[in-house]
Amino acid sequence: MKILIVGGKGQLGRGLAATAPADADIVSHDIDTLDIADAAALSACVADVRPDILFNAAAYTAVDKAESEEDAALVVNGTAVGTLANAAQACGARFVHVSTDFVFDGTCGVPYAPDAAPNPVSAYGRTKLAGEQAAGQDALIVRTAWVYAPTGGNFVRTMLRLMAERPEVRVVADQIGTPTYAPGLAQALWTLARDGVTGIHHYTDSGAASWYDFAVAIQEEALAKGLLERAVPVIPITTAEFPLPARRPHYSVLDKSSTFAALGAPAPHWRSNLRVMLGEIAANG
């Protein structure tokens, strides 16, 4: 089974490679070997590899920077997705694209179903919605949220650093979502793709949390594993107290029930996967 991963050095790209089935022959590209803004290069790469499954794990994820660089974000999150989708269709590949909870405005108050009407409130969200639309009806589109892994830039690693450096940390408590462990997301994508699932689906870990809840759990679990030497106060603050260029959805929990049914089991609770991830960091030094 020939596999092409675009965005292979990111958290999800690495997770896809690490959880690949034994029969997967993987070709992986990232910005250093494939310019996602170069439509001709993208098309030529897909035509050359002729994959059975094409995973698009690449994205412009600088949420605040996208407010002043929406055109640049759109090239990666929107235009390139259409190019990859067309190239996949031309060679008969299954196209798998990953999207985000940021396509919603966060005002619903209950978990968003896959068929809920999108209403992005940021440039990043708008460009990711454009990508969903460009991916086409034959694609598998999986929305996720708050992704983290043992490597790369993410909230968990940032909190570990700040908790080691500062006398206290202040974390937003009025934005609610669900953390997602990248290897678990990757495994779900493999299963759905190999089963030939198409359309829009949601996947995160189980449960819900605020960023404050997540930070408190990170400190407790990191202390238990010896990754932090001392506890520091974790102070809950409001979004208004920590203004950023891009608006965030206040409540972006995704309804995963149909996806979990397709997978045959729910995802682990987010705190369980957090414990697994911190265990990996502790084991690897």
Query: Which residues are catalytic, by number?
Result: 124
CA distance 241 to 245: 13
Going by C-alpha positions, the residue among 19, 48, 227 that lies closest to residue 29 is 48
Crossing angle of the two packed helices 39-49 and 80-90, in degrees rounded to 10? 30
- Residues near 264 by beta carbon (within 8 Å), at least 6 away in sequence: none
CA distances from 50 to 3, 99, 158 (A): 8, 24, 38
Going by C-alpha positions, the residue among 269, 257, 211, 212 that lies closest to residue 112 is 257
What's the burial of 114, exposed, middle or buried (CB within 10 Å: 0-12/13-18/19+)? middle
Asked if 280 and 150 touch (Cβ cutoff 8 Å), the reply is yes
